[in-house]
Amino acid sequence: MTQKPFIPFGGEAIHARSIEDARVVVLPVYYEVAPSFGSGAGQGPYHLLNASYELECLDEETLVDWRKLGIHTAAALEPVKIPERAVGEIENAAGRCLENDRFLFSVGGDHAITIGLARAAAARYPDVGVLQIDAHLDLRDSWNGSRCNHACVMRRIGDDLKLPFVQVGIRSFCPEEYDYIKAHHLYPFYAHNLNPADDSWMDDVVYALPENVYLSLDLDGLDPAVLPGTGTPVPGGMNFRQVVELIRRVGNEKNVVAADINELAKVEGSVVSEFTAAKLATKVFVHCV
């Protein structure tokens, strides 16, 4: 196993050397096992963190300088390629980052990383709920030989952790998953119902969430015209401003305790996807920390 390079979010000048001085801890998780379609998410942290060097530090909407939040980038985590063991390794690393009420921001990796991350958040905040922005329901009980596959994330969160969750941007699922949402009386926010000219549906998202929230942003929740660099791009997704506005509302009205961005896959010859993902990370910092 090769040592992953240390790339601090935003560059060396922004990096808080000591975790004790940080309000935000960025945890890169290099992990991808048994992808369903396209690959590349395992190197997603590298590309997002590299792109973050090019970001301006002043948020254009709020005029907040996110450098001043105190951002410490932890050493990269590269879990074993055995899903059930990887979940435990991710949970342990995340738990250490969450100490002293720090805000944990994890960069994946495929969406399976969220199982361990949500476990760590639930251990510290037992009443936490999960907001999932995603094209897919991720409610299969098992996929590609594992119950801890990226296609099973929300099934583990619902069935195993017993956490409430809200799903936004959904537009791809199988009969098994549809049967599950009917049996459990779940009401995903389907992408085709999210009117770009009317954000009133966001009030319902906020209302459905508990006070403490874990935010998981699968980048395929965005339309591939906005962000093509993901393993399973699905047409008809959310636009950038919709995602930012949802982050703003949830951050303003709830206590977001941790978040992750996952499923970034490099498109050769383009930097659009990784720069957009890095920009979304700063929106989480500005509105949720």
pLDDT band at 62 (very low <50, low <70, confident <90, very high): very high
> How high is the pLDDT of residue 37?
78
Identify the band that residue 34 occupies on the pLDDT scale cut at 50, 70 and 90: low
Under a CB-based contact definition with an 8 Å cutoff, are residues 284 and 103 in contact? no
The pLDDT score that the predictor gives to residue 43 is: 96
How many of the other CB atoms lie within 10 Å of CB of 172? 18
Residues 151-203 have pLDDT tens digits of 999 999 999 999 999 999 999 999 999 999 999 999 999 999 999 999 999 99
Q: Are 234 and 224 in contact (CB under 8 A)?
A: yes
pTM for the whole structure: 0.96
Give per-residue pLDDT as tens, 123-162.
999 999 999 999 999 999 999 899 999 999 999 999 999 9
Structure tokens at 137: 């329901």
Apex CA 277: angle with CA 276 and CA 283, to 5°?
A: 90
Quick check: 71 and 16 in contact, CB under 8 A? yes
78-107: per-residue pLDDT in tens? 999 999 999 999 999 999 999 999 999 999
**CATH homologous superfamily of domain 19-288?**
Ureohydrolase domain (3.40.800.10)
Dist. CA 98–CA 82, nearest whole Å: 24
- Inter-residue contact 74 to 15 (CB < 8 Å): no
Ranges of each domain in the chain: 19-288
